[in-house]
Structure 1
Amino acid sequence: MNARLEASLGDITAEHVDAIVNAANSSLMGGGGVDGAIHRAAGPALLAECQALRQGPLPRGLPTGQAVATGAGDLAARWVIHTVGPDKHRGQTDPALLASCFTESLRVAASLGATSVAFPAVSAGVYGWDVGEVASTAVGAVRGMVDGGGAGSMQLVRFVLFSPEALAAFEAALASDCAP
């Protein structure tokens, strides 16, 4: 069974899905944008889990394009999957690195048994990527994982966007992805 892919305008911290994806920085200690909002809404339990990751398996932080899960603290979701998007301002311009954020997050979600996941527009904010390019890359990567069986028993992938412009870009990418 293929997962349903959809886009909506909203606040990712309020999503009632199994897992939400955090557009994290490599330190995993919170920051601005989506990352800061998720840390604030999740409460201190999320930061404690991120600190444990840094003191254990990720002493140098999470590498760009990779993903790791924690509990979700006070959020409606069960898990937060952290991924570090490429930063165009630092010369990280490879679309494959951006696509990896989405595929690796889905792999982690599948390994947890998640059947629903919500993504933000990873790297479309302060990391300087054009939201249209992010949308096209994200939808292509997610569709490839779902169609290829790498997303486990995923039933729903929702892109939760922060602006009408981002929503329009993701809706266009989803529409063109479904075209014959």
Structure 2
Amino acid sequence: MYRRIKLIKGDITKVSTEVIVNAANTSLIGTSGVSSDIHKAGGIVIDQQCMDIRRRLGGCKTGEIVVTDAGNLDARYVIHTVGPVWKGGEKRESELLYNCYTNALKESVRLECKKIAFPNISTGIYGYPKKEAAKIALKATEDFLKENKEIEEVLFVSYDEENYEIYDELLKQQNK
């Protein structure tokens, strides 16, 4: 299973994969962080499809997902998921973050995609403690991969050194 989980330090908009996951906000407007980078790199098609989703659904709820084409990114789709804002851990944050990863993986299978790349959801302006978020991300991914063979590669893309080191250490512990 762990061979299917990989880690890189870099820019998720430069990754070649089938699905790129966007750490979105509920309005699906790419205003800051990785979401802004994905909207800019993907181009107008992502913005247009997010506007259409907002008109039809009103946006995206925390822990849920919506899908757009990937535009200019080297991927087929962008799965937008809204991570929880950290409020001390008493507002179902861990459950909602777990759902972000699980729902994105389920949707990748539904889309018949075998490779998916995740950013570090909720660890930026949403303030989720990075180590706790990484543990949840890996747990959700491992739980999913145990039951599903369709996904061949889950790539965790850490833009910053701190998140990279946290994931690297957790993955090394699991591989012992």
How far does residue 92 in structure 1 lie from its aligned partner after superposition? 4.2
Match of 2:33 in 1: 33
Verify: 1:44 aligned to 2:41, yes or no. Answer: no
How far does residue 104 in structure 1 lie from its aligned partner after superposition? 0.5
Verify: 1:171 aligned to 2:165, yes or no. Answer: no
Long gaps (5+) in structure 2: none
Match of 1:139 in 2: 138
| SS across alignment from 2:73 | coil
Q: Which amino acid aligns with 1:154?
A: I
Counterpart contact for 1:115–1:154, Cα < 8 Å? yes
How far does residue 176 in structure 1 lie from its aligned partner after superposition? 2.5
CA RMSD of aligned residues (A): 1.7
Match of 1:153 in 2: 150
Long gaps (5+) in structure 1: none
Deviations 1:86-134 (A, max 9, x none): 0015974531111111001101111101110000000011100111111
Match of 2:86 in 1: 88
| SS across alignment from 1:20 | strand
| SS across alignment from 1:173 | helix
Deviations 1:145-170 (A, max 9, x none): 01022xx5110000000111110111
Distance across 2 between alignment mates of 1:7 and 1:93: 27
Deviation beyond 2 Å, 4+ runs, structure 1: 89-94, 175-179
Counterpart contact for 2:85–2:93, Cα < 8 Å? no
Counterpart contact for 1:43–1:74, Cα < 8 Å? yes
Counterpart contact for 2:9–2:157, Cα < 8 Å? yes
Distance across 1 between alignment mates of 2:110 and 2:3: 16
Distance across 1 between alignment mates of 2:106 and 2:3: 14
Counterpart contact for 1:3–1:157, Cα < 8 Å? no
How far does residue 135 in structure 1 lie from its aligned partner after superposition? 0.8
Deviations 1:52-83 (A, max 9, x none): 11112x12x10000111110011111100000
Q: How many residues align?
A: 175
Q: Among the aligned pairs, what percent are the same residue? A: 36
Match of 1:22 in 2: 22
1:71–1:3 Cα change, 3 Å: farther
Distance across 1 between alignment mates of 2:146 and 2:101: 14
Verify: 1:73 aligned to 2:67, yes or no. Answer: no
